[in-house]
Amino acid sequence: MKIEDQISASVRKGIKELYGQDVPENLVQLQKTKKEFEGHWTLVVFPFLKISKKSPEQTAQEIGTYLVQNEPAVAGFNVIKGFLNLTIASKVWVALLNRIHSDAAWGIKNAAADAPLVMIEYSSPNTNKPLHLGHVRNNLLGNALANIMRANGNKVVRTNIVNDRGIHICKSMLAWLKYGNGETPESSGKKGDHLVGDYYVAFDKHYKAEVAELMEKGLSKEEAEAQSPLMQEAREMLRKWEANDPAVRALWKKMNAWVYAGFDETYRMMGVGFDKIYYESETYLEGKEKVLEGLEKGLFYRKEDGSVWADLTPEGLDHKLLLRSDGTSVYMTQDIGTAKLRFQDYPINKMIYVVGNEQNYHFQVLSILLDKLGFEWGKDLVHFSYGMVELPEGKMKSREGTVVDADDLMESMIETAKETSGELGKLDGLTKEEADDIARIVGLGALKYFILKVDARKNMTFNPKESIDFNGNTGPFIQYTYARIQSILRKAAEAGIVIPSEIEANIELSAKEEGLVQMLADFPSIVQQAGTDYNPSILANYAYDLVKEYNQFYHDFSILREENEGLKVFRLALSQNVGKVVKQAMGLLGIEVPERM
């Protein structure tokens, strides 16, 4: 039973005894005592004034006196106007630490056999270019969300839909045929996704030159774009792809295989993965079939030009195109097809799409269409909508090759971490392998934490320099505190100090120690809130607040030099459990913590 539930029950009992009246549970409002006041929990007494028929101060005084006399958990109280601040006895905090200490997976729930199945879609790359900074935010959010949903006792399936077909893919293919001279990842020494991305940029360069040339001959921009021979060839290639032309399909498979090998390397370095990958080339026909089925049932309508539409005006939206007049599909159709395949593959209870906020309208429409088509989870699908991420220098454009590449970003973060850690002496005495591993853990931890500590709904600027700082609200600050705790525990073990499975209760604790236990006790509800709100930043900022408090405690109190044996063991157990919870919290965010630094 939580301390606050125990106190709440005693408050209700006290009011019954003091004023002869039962009060419902929801009237007992307990909140954490504000830092500027003494106490742990504060009871708001205003709801009881009608019953007590006394002033707020007198009512609080009477309830406080009753609790000190009748509730062993309450050691003292003070009254500030209509607020009763309660101080919880040290033995209660020791008992609570013992509970946390005995649970290796404190705050984490395992999925029961009948737990709901949550499917989370993230990443969604195109096979014409490597992953960039925007994908980094998407992947980190999706991965963290999957971990958090699982920690809340759900079954989770992590899924990815790869945009592997369309005109943009044909542009890279055509440019490689024209200008590639048979170049391969092996011959160039480039990652496959980077190589293909270079040809996407090359296509755009040649296309722009053609348009400029045609405009010089007197054509308008629109006419020049329509008459560009390169664009016409790309469209012809797409038509051949749709018609299953063997040569085009063979080239498509070869170049896509290069890209997938490159993506896998990036995902591995980023520490993210998937249980099931879907490909648009396999889902778009399924979507067309489902749309035509909806047309037959009268859910959709066909225009004179042959295109198929959904009328969403009854839902307060507009008319939505589902199939073009030439029968080709749009993104919406593909998403319907993917949903159909997923529903066949898994008994989905909830579907979460991790996609940027520029697609808010798309998912509003998709939810309505899936519901009309009979998908049980359609109406309740969640669009985990996140804001754009930029660098201090500004926006990025992939066609022009000005994108911040995910691989380059991760590499430079690791390099910066190595330099910064070296300058601060945090790699002293380590082998090259150990130093390299710590630079990787710190560099990637800095990147991940900086992105995940921001509420996903907000646009953000990622500042690499700011993120690798061993002070302040950063990944390295949290990682360094964890490593410090492990160092204390190693020294204790070397000195032959054993932390028992149960700590003795007859010690007096400081407010700082009690506050830390209270923060550790909050961890399960933090994990729960991060899942309920679909908000990993709650967890990130909790980890920071916890290590900030621990560092103040470490600064103010002796641990290994403490003369009182009971207190020394308590402080070691407290440190060990702060380390455990920090590791759990960071692990849910997909961030490693180093054992030494």
- Per-residue pLDDT tens over the stretch 156-182: 999 999 999 989 999 999 999 999 999
Per-residue pLDDT, 402:
56
CATH ID of 3-88, from 3.30.1360.70, 3.40.50.300, 1.10.357.10, 3.40.190.10? 3.30.1360.70
Q: Give the DSSP letter of residue 52.
A: H
pLDDT of residue 203 exceeding 60? yes
Confidence tier at 427 by pLDDT (50, 70, 90):
confident
Q: Indicate the range of 389-403, 463-477, 524-538 predicted with least confidence.
A: 389-403
DSSP, collapsed to helix, strand or coil, labels residue 438 as helix
Do 284 and 330 contact (CB within 8 A), yes or no? no
303-327 pLDDT tens trace: 999 999 999 999 999 999 999 888 8
> What DSSP assignment string belongs to 359-385?
GHHHHHHHHHHHHHTT-TTTTT-EEEE
Residue range 237-247: average pLDDT? 93
Per-residue pLDDT, 398:
42
454-497 pLDDT tens trace: 999 999 988 888 898 888 899 999 999 999 999 999 999 999 99
Residue range 422-446: average pLDDT? 91
Facing residues of 384 across strands? 354
**C-alpha closest to that of 566 among 518, 503, 486:** 503
Confidence tier at 329 by pLDDT (50, 70, 90):
confident
Q: 484 is written with which tokens?
A: 């410090």
Confidence tier at 389 by pLDDT (50, 70, 90):
confident
Residue 496, sorted as left (phi over 0), alpha (psi -120 to 50) or beta, turns out to be left
Per-residue pLDDT, 506:
85
Residue range 4-14: average pLDDT? 94
Do 18 and 60 contact (CB within 8 A), yes or no? no
Per-residue pLDDT, 396:
42
Where helices occur in 271-357 by DSSP H, the ranges are: 280-296, 331-345
Q: What CATH superfamily is the domain 406-588? A: Isoleucyl-tRNA Synthetase; Domain 1 (1.10.730.10)
How crowded is the C-beta side of 304, counted as CA atoms within 13 Å? 0
Domain boundaries, the chain: 3-88, 165-274, 406-588
Report d(CA 358, CA 237) in Å as an integer.
29
pLDDT of residue 407 exceeding 90? yes
Secondary structure element (H or E) that encloses residue 159, with its range? strand 155-162
pLDDT of residue 333 exceeding 80? yes
Per-residue pLDDT, 394:
54
Q: How far apart are the first and last CA of the chain?
A: 38
Q: Give the DSSP letter of residue 75.
A: E
Residue range 351-376: average pLDDT? 94
* pTM across the whole model: 0.91
Residue range 61-73: average pLDDT? 95
86-142 pLDDT tens trace: 999 999 999 999 999 999 999 999 999 999 999 999 999 999 999 999 999 999 999
Confidence tier at 298 by pLDDT (50, 70, 90):
very high
Per-residue pLDDT, 400:
47
**C-alpha closest to that of 396 among 162, 203, 132:** 132
